Structure 1
Amino acid sequence: MQELLLIGIGTGNPDHVTRQGAEAIRRADLILIPRKGAGKSDLAGVRETIIGSVTETLPSLAYFDIPKRRDDDGYLRGVDAWHDAIAERWQAAIATHPSAKVVALLVWGDPSLYDSSLRIAARFAPKPQTRVIPGITALQALTAAHAIPVNEIGAPFTLSTGRQLRDNGWPEGVETAVIMLDGECSFGTLDATQYDIWWGAYVGMAEEILIGGPLDQVAEQIRTTRAQARTDHGWIMDIYLLRRRG
């Protein structure tokens, strides 16, 4: 392998792939397809659909299974070990196609935003030339779907995770926070009477679900809807924006 392409594909809608991303897919000799278990098999199918939508000559595909992450030795150590294991899976999949010079991975959203692909690629030895093709982020898709600006006039906002919200509470110095990677509906740790929320799941996809309003009025609806959607599809990707009232 001489070149590794990390291609942002937005939230899974083929229309989110940029022309630059489509050209990168066509350039690839080999595309890695991660598998996350039987219940999430349609995630691989989304990637296959995107590839087929931009090229008539399909490149070789190499499938690999994502190992489970363990946190029994601490969250950060668990993530570090997990990244090592994923890098080994990448390299094993690439080794089955020794003639491939340009290898690609399709990344949900954008490779720079709460994604580990760049950190995993840094573990390769020898290191290939790594190119990042940006994609539409979940944040962009969420604000577009709700037709709202991400920030108040001239005001900052925070982009964070459910873990940070649960452990540290509302971030200081901002009125707006965007929360990703939250499998536990961590907005429930806040005084719901003080916030408005704009929530979305499968944003930009055919399965898109949107709920917005005063947090104290829609929190339970979001919890119930989220749980049902996860059951129906076997997986869920969601994101939400919280804004302090007043």
Structure 2
Amino acid sequence: MREIHVIGIGAGDPDQLTLQAVKALRSTDVFFVLDKGEVKSDLTQLRRDMLDAHLPEGSYRVVRASDPERDRSAGGAAYSPAVGDWRSARADIYERLITEELGEQERGAFLVWGDPSLYDSTLGILEEVLARGRVAFGYDVVPGISSVSSLVARHRTGLNRVARPVQITTGRRLAEGFPDGVDDVVVMLDAHQSFRRYADQDIDIYWGAYLGTPDEILVSGPLAEAGPRIERLRAEARERKGWIMDTYLLRRHPRDTPPAPPGD
């Protein structure tokens, strides 16, 4: 039976590949890469650099396909259907690649930025392909160092504070309101800098873009002060490279603790 590795490759630093990831790379015959176009060609090159660093030349094949466009203008009730359509279009591509490019006894691999379990669609798409029943394969998952882990490591801080929860959410959700009962919030996939609506609150931000790459940018400090700088650096970086991948941690300062009930 065909076998697939879903390999988390970290946030961008080749040194963040785990030993388990390197072992999976070395057992792979065919690597599938979705090409996001010329603007993001350096993302494809980072993957090739990782392969070149760990695998003998000629020991594997790379098969590329064009990544389908997603309707990023869809909002509100149309957002989830638009994402579903995009994932199904990707499933069509995955199914074709596995059927036509992977031999019955070969192992293929998808190289996933960060960790495959955190805001990534690969696992869901593979399940959709299997559910169609037109091609059979097994797959395993190799965890990676997520951008969240990389972010807090680079800022030399933790995700949570003692006995306190932390929540990971999206910019779209943050724009709807700060999560109830949580003072430490990691935000991903925020194209609109939703942190701006909280600039008048007592909140620190730890922000990072292109984590683990030579283009890495880090900013931290009180949101009211750091926010405008982040907006400027983000706009400049996006203009320079044509794309940006960033994430951030918002840390709200402790509010007054309510008095304990009588008798406690």
Match of 1:118 in 2: 123
Match of 1:171 in 2: 179
Match of 1:25 in 2: 25
2:78 aligned with 1:74, yes or no? yes
Opposite residue 116 of structure 2, the aligned amino acid is: P
Deviation at 1:2, TM superposition (A): 1.3
Q: How does 1:50-199 map to 2 (within 5 A)?
A: 50-57=50-57, 58-70=59-71, 71=74, 74-99=78-103, 101-124=106-129, 125=133, 126-166=135-175, 168-199=176-207
CA offset digits 1:184-210 (Å, max 9, x no partner): 101012243321100000112221110
More moved, 223-232 vs 190-199: 190-199
For the structure 1 residues 98 and 178, does the alpha-carbon distance in structure 2 shift closer, same or farther, using more than 3 Å as the test?
Answer: closer
TM-score (norm 1): 0.95
Question: 1:62–1:94: 8 Å Cα contact kept in structure 2?
Answer: no
Match of 2:9 in 1: 9
Structure with higher Rg: it is: 2
Deviation at 1:91, TM superposition (A): 2.3
CA distance in 2: counterparts of 1:149 and 1:7, whole angstroms: 25
State the secondary structure of the residue aligned to 2:205.
Answer: strand
For the structure 1 residues 158 and 27, does the alpha-carbon distance in structure 2 shift closer, same or farther, using more than 3 Å as the test?
Answer: same
Unaligned runs of 5+ residues in structure 2 are: 255-264
State the secondary structure of the residue aligned to 1:171.
Answer: coil
Unaligned runs of 5+ residues in structure 1 are: none
Runs of 4+ deviating beyond 6 Å:
none
Question: 1:110–1:137: 8 Å Cα contact kept in structure 2?
Answer: yes
TM-score (norm 2): 0.89
Question: 2:2–2:102: 8 Å Cα contact kept in structure 1?
Answer: no
Compute the RMSD of aligned alpha carbons: 1.5
CA distance in 2: counterparts of 1:43 and 1:144, whole angstroms: 22
CA distance in 2: counterparts of 1:42 and 1:90, whole angstroms: 22
State the secondary structure of the residue aligned to 1:122.
Answer: helix
